[in-house]
Amino acid sequence: MEDRRTYELRDCFRNRELSWLQFNERVLEEAADISVPLCERLTFESIFMSNLDEFFMVRVGTLHDHMLMDAEERENKTNMTSREQINAILKRTRELMARKDRVYESIMSEISGYGVELIDFSSISDEDAQYLRKYFINEIMPLISPQVIGKRQPFPFLQNKKIYALVALETKNMNAKLGIIPCSGVFDRLIPVPSDKNRFMLAEELILHFASDIFDRYKVTSKTLVRIIRNADIDADEAIDEEATDYREAMEDIIRKRKKLCPVRMDITREIPAGVRKSFCEHLGLTDKEIFISHAPLDLSFVFDVQDKLRAHKELFYKPLTPQKSPMVDENRSMIEQISERDILLSYPYESMKPFLRLLREAGEDENVVSIKMTLYRVARYSQVIEALINAAENGKEVVVLVELKARFDEENNIEWSRRLENAGCRIIYGLDRLKVHSKLCLITRKEDNKVSCITQIGTGNYNEKTAKQYTDYSLMTSSVEIGMEALRVFNELAMGQVMEHTEHLLVAPKCLQNKVLDMIDDEISFAKLGEPAYVGAKLNSLTDRTIMKKLIEASQAGVKIELIVRGICCLVPGIPGYTENIKIISIVGRFLEHSRVYIFGTEERERMYISSADFMTRNTLKRVEVGVPIYDEMTRIRINEMFSIMLQDNVKARIQGPDGIYRKQKTDGEPLNSQEYFYAQAYENANKKLI
């Protein structure tokens, strides 16, 4: 039957938070997908939970703060209040948590077929039970600190994401009390039983089982394991006192404060009486609807230990893949020399990050290099990038590093690296007031025979050797004078606490990115209105910027063909008659995290292409310093276009968003095409070839 519904503009938008939950559901679908190797499914299950924890800590925490400030404040896409969003999130989360439990049970049931099993006291022999009792008494009991809540024993602070045993107690006089036992400690979490070294009990389950021994003067009436998720959203700019003289110390203080913010979710493993729930919630400031029952363990970090027990079964894991040599790079020649001849593009994780690391080390040793300037957002815990910068500074180069201390959950790592860089003689900048510096920008300046030249590297991902093997990203290295001079201006503005007001080549948020994107979409609208072919393509992590989305809707209405690859949050709904029928949106969730950002405007003969650190989110386009670089080299542009086209054809890991907002796998009668596997196979094939 023909759909006779009359659509409105608001039908084209979806709530940001509910869209994020859709993305995490796609992660959970990978855990449920029987075509994914069994142990990798367990990894996706763990990722689903860690994603959800961070979502509650940041996004739900933010909504709680907004709700307390103004209950009627509405978001600009679906007009929902903060309270309405929280209620919708809690309802959807409850559904997803139930699905997570079913997937976990299915995975662990299959894993038990390989001899590795998590057990409880209902499924062990008397001998194993006696061993576990002795183990508890000797190895765990001396290391835990149980507490009964009373007038002289105030309710303790429960740490974020830590597991506790909650025990309802009854005295001889029939008085009800609460007992709490921390279950996260220095003891091993996976405890093997002597009859089979591949059968384990979780330490928290062992502690909970012996709760009656711990509170031996009370009657235990009910018990459960609990885990608290706390708000982690602190606005660093508002929290730092204007009188603070040491920004780094002020950020350390914020990190300490964040650990003590209010709870936003509680997970429990067993039903407990309503009175116990109510009492516990009152202590924590939670409501009953913020409690979730989990039949899976509350913390899935142990799954990696389980996987280690199964390494001999190679069929349970992805086939090992190693980032390959780039065919654009000659390993026997200087990187600076090669980049001076032509642009070089690296595509992670298919190609190795080593050429860029070699460029940094080479610059530190090159007598003609005057300075290295770099922005750092997230780096590896043991960073070769940092070591190369330190080496350069110790060799007398001017090394200027903007370290973004507001990189959420990486603040402590960045604070430590900033100290090491500073001690080595690097000049450190800590970013701008109210703007995070999220750009991936490196500028190497050389002076040879009184001639100044630049090597500029601009990427879509962080300078992190670990994630370069797990995330898909692009890294462009160029000797373009125009790009180098604008990159220099970016660094000079940042050093003076300012932002770029005007650019000719680069896209630089917050003032020279969104407006330029809108102008380029407008150009395509103009071509479409003249009856000429018009095109916009983009690959993003997220799409939430309402201004850009409205312009894309306008372009669709004008007849512009629009193809979007959006991994995560997508607040735009395609296929809405009269509005977005010319827009196609897919999401790829697979073995590697899709992280690269590409913008394409125009058909082949007049195409303008950029790679960028910025998603089309308001926080990126207007509230951060981001950098996008034009792809001027024809060969590089052809290569990115080919990869973009392959991703659009993915029929294994891609899901198409329908006009109902639901994502569905592409159905095809042709050969299966997993774009990530295709690119890796191509990288192996090209590793010993030369493209130039």
Torsion sign (Cα): 264, 267, 268, 273: positive
350 is in an annotated binding site: no
CB-CB contact of 490 with 613 (8 Å): no
471 is in an annotated binding site: yes
Torsion sign (Cα): 458, 461, 462, 467: negative
378 is in an annotated binding site: yes
**End-to-end CA separation in angstroms for the chain:** 56
Burial 421-433 (b: 16+ CB within 10 A, else e): beebebebbbbbe
Write down the catalytic residue from 64, 66, 209, 438.
Answer: 438
Distances (CA, A) of 226 to 168, 223, 296, 297, 361: 13, 10, 12, 10, 49
CA distance 264 to 111: 33
CB-CB contact of 168 with 276 (8 Å): yes
Q: Is 438 a catalytic residue?
A: yes
CA distance 633 to 566: 25
Comparing C-alpha atoms, which of 373, 390, 381 is closest to residue 409? 381
Residue 606 DSSP symbol = G
Output the six-digit token pair for 578.
């009269």
Instruction: Count other Cβ atoms within 10 Å, centred on residue 99.
Output: 16
Please list, in sequence order, all residues whose beta carbon lies within 8 angstroms of the beta carbon of residue 300, skipping any fewer than 6 positions away. 45, 46, 49, 50, 104
Output the six-digit token pair for 345.
């593009």
686 is in an annotated binding site: no
Please list, in sequence order, all residues whose beta carbon lies within 8 angstroms of the beta carbon of residue 178, skipping any fewer than 6 positions away. 148, 149, 166, 167, 168, 169, 276, 279, 280
DSSP string for residues in 86-139: HHHHHHHHHHHHHHHHHHHHHHHHHHHTTT-EE--GGGS-HHHHHHHHHHIIII
Residue 677 DSSP symbol = H
Sequence-ordered strand ranges (E) for 231-275: 263-268
CB-CB contact of 200 with 118 (8 Å): yes
**Which residues make up each annotated binding site for ATP?**
51, 471, 567, 595
Q: Looking at the annotation, which residues are catalytic?
A: 438
**Which residues make up each annotated binding site?**
51, 378, 408, 471, 567, 595
**Which residues make up each annotated binding site for Mg(2+)?**
378, 408
